Chain A
């Protein structure tokens, strides 16, 4: 079945790098996404990667995809207090009109 797993919490110090990990089970995933949710707000798309790519970099964000192990990670360089939020990993699978399958989210806490 479809399932996306994430660790629930991550705590880092300001200026350090953060790495948020995600595993998924459906090998037919076509795109994998990272969303950010700040308190009281909706989910904001951060970045996404097509399943035939290994890496995508966008400013402070680096996404790594290991398709063999079905493992996705999001690295945030030079983490700032404003990065404190819940980060959701999601996959879309290759069926017409299928919605995204979300993980339960990782709460990132950044201390100064």
Chain B
């Protein structure tokens, strides 16, 4: 079992640039979650999908953030334009059915200069 795979592991870019974070879920998992972790705010849910459909995006901070899940094996989180306050670790997690444990990827550490 390959686990949840996120890329890149680290991203450093200048403010104003577009950033795309990628996630490959565990095969067969029907739900996918994007989280952001910072020292100040802890772990925050940004958006989640069930069967590739966005269910709740109320945690997405601004219109600069967007997420897609074009198929069951791939999701992206995009920030355009990026700002220094977007610097954080972004995690993707997947779940095979309701109330089962979520499995996390190793995260993408994003630094916006």
Contacts and interface: CB of A to CB of B under 8 A. Distances in A.
Interface in A55-105: 88, 92, 94, 96-100, 102-105
Main secondary structure of the interface of B (DSSP, over half): strand
Interface residues of A, number: 23
Contacts of A97: 31, 48, 50, 55-56, 98
Interface residues of B, number: 22
Contact of B42 (A35, A96, A98, A105): A105
A31, A33, A92, A99, most chain B CB atoms within 10 A: A99
A38 to B, nearest CB: 10
Given A42-B104, A99-B33, A99-B48, 7 more contacts: A30-B99, A33-B101, A42-B106, A44-B104, A97-B98, A102-B43, A105-B43
Interface in A15-69: 30-31, 33, 35, 40-45, 48
Given A97-B31, A97-B50, A43 B55 contact: no
